[in-house]
Amino acid sequence: FRLWALLDGVDVPENLIRARTNSPSALRFWRAWHRSYNLWVVRYIYIPLGGAKRQLVSSLVVFTFVALWHDLSFTLLAWAWRMVLVLVPEIVGRSLVPSRVYGQRPWFRHVRALGTVANMFMMISANLVGFVIGLDGVQFVWSQMVETGAGRVCLLQLIVVLFIAAQLMYEYRAEEFRRGIWNAYLGVRAEGMRWRHRAHRSHRPCSSGTIIGSIGAVSDALVHTSSNRAPGDTMGSPAY
């Protein structure tokens, strides 16, 4: 759909710049999911309600609106409210163990991976409530996972597999940072935001020439930044 929009002269945000299964953070996942719709919700609902200053309250209203936008259903409302609960541990964890303070500690990545595993379980449960088996069905699944021997073995296996997956996600990002790809992405993203701001102020839709030029600028920025970074340069770790 974005391709057709670009051909029609409309530059819409690219959805899911990473695969949906390559997102260890619930907050980052929802910022990338359906980004054009997300930007509208943030601009007209989240920010007017206080934004990051009242993050949980603003998120509660946003997810409730999204649920009602899908359909008037109690299961979708339950999904929305559970999604807000999913955000709570991550928000608390970021405030108690910030990466800027503890990011270089050897244990930090493992603790963060365990938090990612908990995030995955909570998001899966919330989606099962809203779109598959409902609240009663999820309660039954968890009762079988916790109260039976086979269920506990399965739960342990899932924790191990998801923990390994989380470690791979973080290693993938660390390798991007070592190669300079992450800094290139940030630079291109900032340039794109400045370009959109200028286009918005001038009220001029993008043309096919502008689109091709933007693609070329992105490629040049990626190549230039990657070539100017030392292979072992690890100034920090990307948060995304």
110 is catalytic: no
Residue of 70, 110, 197, 200 marked active site:
70
SS (H, E, C) the chain: CHHHHHHCCCCCCCCCCCCCCCCCCHHHHHHHCCHHHHHHHHHHHHCCCCHHHHHHHHHHHHHHHHHHHHCCCHHHHHHHHHHHHHHHHHHHHHHHCCHHHHCCCCCHHHHHHHHHHHHHHHHHHHHHHHHCCHHHHHHHHHHHHHHCHHHHHHHHHHHHHHHHHHHHHHHHHHHHHHHCHHHHHHHHHHHHHHHHHHHHHHCCCCCHHHHHHHHHHHHHHHHHHHHCCCCCCCCCCCCC
Q: Please list the active-site residues.
A: 70
